[in-house]
Structure 1
Amino acid sequence: MHTLLPTTIVGSLPKPSWLAQPEVLWSPWALEGDALREGKQDALRLAVQDQTRRGIDIVSDGEQTRQHFVTTFIEHLSGVDFEKRETVRIRDRYDASVPTVVGEVRRERPVFVDDAIALRESTDRPIKWALPGPMTMVDTLYDAHYKSREKLAWEFAKILNEEARELEAAGVDVIQFDEPSFNVFFDEVKDWGVAALERATEGLHAQTAVHICYGYGIKANTDWKATLGSQWRQYEESFPLLQRSSLDIISLECQNSHVPMELIELVRGKKVMLGAIDVANEQVETPDEVADTLRRALSYVDAENLIPSTNCGLAPFPRAIAQRKLSALSAGAAIVRGEIAQTAQVAS
Structure 2
Amino acid sequence: MNKLLPTSTAGSLPKPSWLAEPEKLWSPWKLEGEELLEGKQDALRVALNDQRQAGIDIVSDGEQTRQHFVTTFIEHLEGVDFEKRETIRIRNRYDASVPSVVGAVSRNRPVFVEDAKFLRAQTTQPIKWALPGPMTMIDTLYDGHYKSREKLAWEFARILNEEARELEAAGIDIIQFDEPAFNVFFDEVNDWGVAALERAAEGLKCETAVHICYGYGIKANTDWKKTLGAEWRQYEAVFPRLRTSGIDMVSLECQHSHVPMDLIELLRGKKVMVGAIDVATDTVETPEEVAEVLRKALRFVDADKLYPCTNCGMAPLPRNVARGKLAALSAGADIVRRELSA
Q: Shared fold (TM-score greater than 0.5)? A: yes
Deviation of 1:316 after TM superposition, in Å, equals 0.8
Distance 1:61 1:325 in 2: 17
Counterpart of 1:148, as a letter, is S
Hey, what's the Cα distance between the residues in 1 that align with 2:119 and 2:233?
36
Shift of 1:217: 1.3
What's 1:346 paired with? Answer: none
CA-CA distance at 1:148 after TM superposition: 0.1
What is residue 81 of structure 1 aligned with on the other side? 81
Cα distance in 2 for partners of 1:116, 1:288 equals: 34
Which digits, 9 at most, give the CA deviation of each residue in 1:71-100, with x for residues without a partner? Answer: 000000000000000000000100000000
Question: 1:156-186: CA deviations, max 9, x gaps?
Answer: 0000000000000000000000000000001
- Any gaps of 5 or more consecutive residues in structure 1? 343-348
Q: CA deviation at 1:279?
A: 0.2
How far apart in 2 are the matches of 1:219 and 1:326? Answer: 23
Measured after TM superposition, the shift of residue 218 of structure 1 is 1.1
- SS of the counterpart of 1:102? strand
Q: Which residue of 1 aligns with 2:71?
A: 71
Amino acid corresponding to residue 295 of structure 2 in structure 1: R
Q: Distance in 2 between matches of 1:62 and 1:211?
A: 15
Give the counterpart letter for 1:146 in structure 2: Y
**Which residue type is aligned with residue 202 of structure 1?**
E
- Where does residue 239 of structure 2 map in the other structure? 239
Give the 3-state SS of the residue equivalent to 1:195 in structure 2. helix
Higher mean alpha-carbon deviation, 216-225 vs 110-119, is at 216-225
The 2-side partners of 1:231 and 1:16 are apart by: 37
| 2:62 matched residue in structure 1 | 62
Partner of 2:283: 283
Tell me how far apart the structure 1 counterparts of residues 309 and 217 of structure 2 sit (CA, whole Å): 17
- Identity rate, percent: 76
Aligned-partner Cα distance in 1 for 2:48–2:123: 7
- Equivalence for 1:317: 317
* Residue equivalent to 1:12: 12
Deviation at 1:219, TM superposition (A): 1.2
The amino acid of 1:138's aligned partner reads: I
Aligned match of 1:202 = 202
Q: Which residue of 1 aligns with 2:143?
A: 143
**What is the identity, as a one-letter code, of the residue corresponding to 2:81?**
D
Deviations 1:244-301 (A, max 9, x none): 0000000110000000000000000000000000000111000000001000100000
Hey, what does 1:262 align to over in structure 2?
262
Structure 2 residue 127 is matched with structure 1 residue 127: yes
Aligned length: 342
C-alpha separation between the residues in 2 aligned to 1:191 and 1:298?
31
Letter in 2 for 1:241: R
Match of residue 334 from structure 1: 334
Superposition pairs of residues 18-57 of structure 1, within 5 angstroms = 18-57=18-57
Q: Which amino acid aligns with 2:332?
A: G
Unmatched 5+ residue regions in structure 2?
none
Partner residue, 2:272: 272
For 1:314 and 1:108, locate their aligned partners in 2 and report how far apart those are by CA, in whole Å: 31
